[in-house]
Amino acid sequence: MNSFIYVTHFTPRMIAFVFVGLSFMSALCSGTEFPTVFVFGDSLLDPGNNDYIITLSRANHPPNGIDFPNQVPTGRFTNGRTIVDIIGNEVGFTGFLPPYLAPNTTGRVVLQGVNYASGASGILKETGALFGGRIELDEQIDYFANTKKYIISILGTQNAANLIGKAIFTVSMGSNDFLNNYLIPILSEPKRALIPPDVFVDKLISKYSLQLTRLYSMGAHKIVVVNVGPIGCIPYVKDILNLGRYGCLEIANQIVQRFNERLKDLVAELSTNLKGSLFVYADAYRIVNDIYTNYKRYGFDVPDAACCYLLGHHGGILPCGPGPVKVCADRSKYIFWDAYHPSEAANVIITRRLLDGDKNDIFPMNMRQLLRA
């Protein structure tokens, strides 16, 4: 079922930035108004920012991107498109939001939006330190402050404020604060002995509240906050923390659910207290858990193992390259691309639920409704 795949040729990643430019020019010529989008997150949404920093958390090598246009390994931690890419394509944006750190992210392309997401990053500064470089959420927001100044230099203060006020801000953080901080095997045991889960969750929510409020103070009004998925079910956790056993690691999922409950309350509180704001709570946990539990209904054959792997009962011990790895023959049948991240097939289903889902999936409105709000 599996075979070794070696990709030795790929089109330069600049093609993705060309798509962005062409899409923006097409919008100008046709009069179509695409929404400006700013993205903050971790490796689930990283479009290649980590390619430009010194870090162990990189995906700019094959077989990552094997199903991306022209089989380009752009730094996305999946076989194809991320959720943000798919949402953009679904609403009519033919390109992809550029990574903030890419040298091509300049000029009027920035007016379409920028992606600041970075693999291994978290809400807390110390999260992901084992990987070396990463752009934590505070720094991502600092980068947005730079972008805002740049937009003002192009459009002027009032027009820039109008653009940012109508823009969609998507923030997806927290997974690494558990996986690569509080739940690190062996290394984090002293921390867990001193800091109970509820105290750690309180710390995360307190910090996250400041960060989201800061975005609002910089002009962000439409903010989608994505909660943390069922990390106890990913191949890495099943092999490293659950020791290869079948079933999910419930302790990890229970901690995440505590965080998500507090996050939902925080989103409601910010919506009430921050005048003119429109916060949307996206329940990725519910969506991914449903896909995982009812995988056959969604067309998957393998719910609990990585498509790209080298070691581990679930393929969760090592990342997807660089170097020789095994890749499943049919990526569309796997929920997980690698030890941590969904396949493009799973991302497509998650995207549909975020775009058109009911209030159980995304509250108080879905992404398509938010675009019209």
At residue 246, the pLDDT reads 82
Burial of 347 (0-12, 13-18, 19+ CB in 10 A): buried
Give the residue among 53, 44, 90, 348 at the shortest CA–CA distance from 226.
Answer: 44
Residue with tokens 């750690």: 200
- Catalytic annotation, pick one of 23, 42, 43, 361: 43
Give the residue among 236, 177, 181, 230 at the shortest CA–CA distance from 208.
Answer: 177
At residue 27, the pLDDT reads 38
Contact 308, 63 (CB under 8 A): yes
How far apart CA 215 and CA 232 sit, in angstroms, is 30
Q: Which two tokens stand for residue 160?
A: 């820039």
At residue 6, the pLDDT reads 27
Cβ count near 225 (within 10 Å) = 22
At residue 33, the pLDDT reads 61
Q: Is the peptide bond before 235 cis (omega within 30 degrees of 0)?
A: no
Helices (H), 226-343: 235-240, 250-273, 284-293
Known active-site residue 356: no
How far apart CA 106 and CA 124 sit, in angstroms, is 29
The list of the chain residues with pLDDT below 70 reads 1-33
Predicted TM-score of the model (pTM): 0.91
Known active-site residue 221: no
Known active-site residue 341: yes
- Catalytic annotation, pick one of 283, 341, 343, 361: 341
